[in-house]
Amino acid sequence: MRVAMIGTGYVGLVSGACFADFGHHVTCIDKNQEKIDLLRSGGVPIYEPGLDLLVQRNIREGRLDFATDLTEAVREADVVFIAVGTPSRRGDGHADLSYVYAAAEEIAGVMEGYTVVVTKSTVPVGTGDEVESIIRKARPDGAFAVVSNPEFLREGAAIDDFKRPDRVVVGAQEPKARDVMRELYRPLFLNETPIVFTERRTSELIKYAANAFLAMKITFINEIADLCEAVGANVQEVSKGIGLDGRIGAKFLHAGPGYGGSCFPKDTLALVKTAELYDSPLRLVSATVEVNAARKKAMADKIIAASGGSVDGKTIAVLGLTFKPNTDDMRDAPSLDIIPALQKAGARVKAYDPAGIEEAEKLLSDVEFVTGPYLAMEGADALVIITEWNEFRALDTDRIKASLSDPLIIDLRNIYDPAEMAGEGFRYVSVGRP
C-alpha cells in the first residue's frame, strides 16, 4: 500500500518508519526543509533508540522517502495520515487544531482516487467530523473516508510499542475504510494483536481516556506515597500488593516526582476542557491535573527539608533532567519545576543528563551542566536523582561519598534500597519509603 504521513514528530516519524518496515511504501512529509534534508541523509531529528537504523534500512530498501510538499505523495496514497502536533492552545488549554485543519485543507486540494484520511494526532472528540467537512467542502464528489487511529506509543520504547501494541484502535464507520486499515495493519494481526473497531468519536475519546487513566493511576500512587511517608509505610510494597490484583495491574504504579512529557500534561488538560465544553465534568481528571502540578513544585520543598531546612549557599548535584529516561525530551519535565525552585531558595545547581542537556540548556538558566554523574557530585552538598536513567542505577557508592561534601542523597525515583544506602553511611531520602 502507499502511505503519506504528514508530520515527522515522534508519532509521525515512528509510525512512518514502522509502516515502511511492514512492507508499505511510505512518504513522510514535513514543511521543515532542514528536517527533511537530515532524514533523507539517514539522520533522525529526535532521540529514540533504534529509530535511526530503522529509517536508514527502509530508505535503503526503497520503501521510505521524505518530502516537503505533500502533492505527489497524497495523490498516490491509499492512506494519508495526519500526524501533526496538537499542542495546548496558549491561554485556555484546549488542543490547538490549526495544524490538523491546515493539513486537511491541503489533502483535499490534491487527493485522487479513494483515499482514507486518518487522524493519528491526538485530537478531541469531533475533530474527525470537522476534518471530513473541510475535505467535503473542497471536494463535494471526492471519494474518501476520515478515520481515527490513535497512537499509544511511549517515547523511548516507541518502535517496540508500535510493532507490539496491546491493541490497535480504529474509528471508522465505512466497511471499505475498515478493510483498508485492516490491510495496513495486517502484519500485526498475524501476531494476533487485537484490533478494536469503533465509531470515530469513540476512538477519539479512547486515546484521551487511556492517557487520563494512566496519569490518574500515577497520581494516585504518588498521593499514596505521601501517605506512606506520613504513616511509616512503604509505597513500593503497596504498589506490589495492589498491582498483583489483576483488576488493578502492576504497571504505572511507580511513585515519583510527578508525570511530565509531551502527552499526559497536555492531554489531561484538553480532556478536562472537552468535558467542560459538553457540561460533563471529569472531576477525577481535573484533580489529577492539579495534584500533579502541585507535586512537581513540592519536590523542591522535599529536597530543602532533607537538606536541613535550607539550601541557601549550597551546591546541589542533579542527575536526570528529561521527563523520563531514554529520551531527550524536556517537555513538562519535573526538573523544570524543581531546579528553578532550588535556585530561588539560594542553591547552586550542577546537573548531568545522558541525552537532555542540549534541550535543558534552552530551558534552564544558571545551571552548570557537566558531562558525567560524578562531575556533578564533585564538592556538592547533596545528590538529587530526578530521572531514573539506567546508568544511575548502579553508581559507585564509594565514589559518591568521596565526591559529595555531605553524604546526602535524595532519590525521587526510588532506584536504591534505603537499608543498603543507610548501611553505606548515606542519609538517604526517597519517595514513600521509610
Task: State which of residues 16, 261, 356, 407 lies at the interface with ligand UDX (CB under 6 A).
Answer: 261
* Residue 261 in grid coordinates: 512529557
Q: Which residue has the cell 543498603?
A: 420
Nearest residue (CB) to ligand UDX, 322 versus 343: 322
Distance between CA atoms of 31 and 109, rounded to whole angstroms?
17
252 binding ligand UDX? (CB under 6 A):
yes
Minimum Å gap between C-beta 153 and ligand UDX is 5
* CB of 215 or CB of 380, closer to ligand UDX: 215
Q: Which of 254, 295, 314, 350 binds ligand UDX (CB under 6 A)?
A: 254
Torsion of CA 113, 118, 123, 125, to 10 degrees: 80
Dist. CA 32–CA 290, nearest whole Å: 36
Residues in region 298-317 near ligand UDX by CB under 6 A: none
Question: Using CB under 6 A, which residues numbered 401 to 430 contact ligand UDX?
Answer: none
Give, rounded to a whole angstrom, the gap between the first and last alpha carbons of the chain.
57
Shorter beta-carbon distance to ligand UDX: residue 127 or 262: 262
Which of 253, 311, 318, 421 touches ligand UDX (CB under 6 A)? Answer: 253
The footprint of ligand UDX on residues 341-360 (CB under 6 A) is none
Number of residues that bind ligand UDX (CB under 6 A): 20
Report 264-283 residues binding ligand UDX (CB under 6 A): 264
Nearest residue (CB) to ligand UDX, 39 versus 255: 255
Q: With binding defined as CB under 6 A, does residue 331 bind ligand UDX?
A: no
Select from 164-172, 254-262, 365-373, 425-433 the region that touches ligand UDX (CB under 6 A): 254-262
With b for 16 or more beta-carbon neighbours within 10 A and e for fewer, the 271-291 pattern comes to bbbbbeeeeeebeebbebbeb
Name the one range near ligand UDX by CB under 6 A: 1-9, 74-82, 252-260, 345-353. Answer: 252-260
| Pick 115 or 335: Cβ nearer ligand UDX | 335
Q: How far is the CB of 270 from ligand UDX (least distance, A)?
A: 13
Q: Which is nearer to ligand UDX, 21 or 155 (CB)?
A: 155
54 vs 380 by CB, closer to ligand UDX: 54
Q: What string marks each residue from 369 to 388 as x (binds ligand UDX by CB under 6 A) or -?
A: --------------------
Name which position in 83, 177, 263, 298 contacts ligand UDX (CB under 6 A): 263
Footprint on residues 207-246 left by ligand UDX (CB under 6 A)? 211, 214, 218
The residues annotated with a catalytic role in the active site are 263
- Cell numbers 476542557 label which residue? 273
> Is residue 81 a contact partner of residue 147, using CB atoms and an 8 Å limit?
no
Place of cell 521524505: 66
Binders of ligand UDX among residues 105 to 164 (CB under 6 A) are 151-155
> Among 16, 256, 354, 356, which residue sits at the site for ligand UDX (rule: CB under 6 A)?
256
Q: Which stretch binds ligand UDX (CB under 6 A): 50-58, 226-234, 261-269, 281-289?
A: 261-269
Sign of CA dihedral 422, 424, 426, 431: negative
Stretch that binds ligand UDX, among 46-54, 92-100, 262-270, 414-422 (CB under 6 A): 262-270
Q: Which residue is nearest to ligand UDX (CB)?
A: 263
Q: Does 171 bind ligand UDX (CB under 6 A)?
A: no
Interface with ligand UDX (CB under 6 A): 151-155, 211, 214, 218, 252-254, 256, 259-264, 323-324
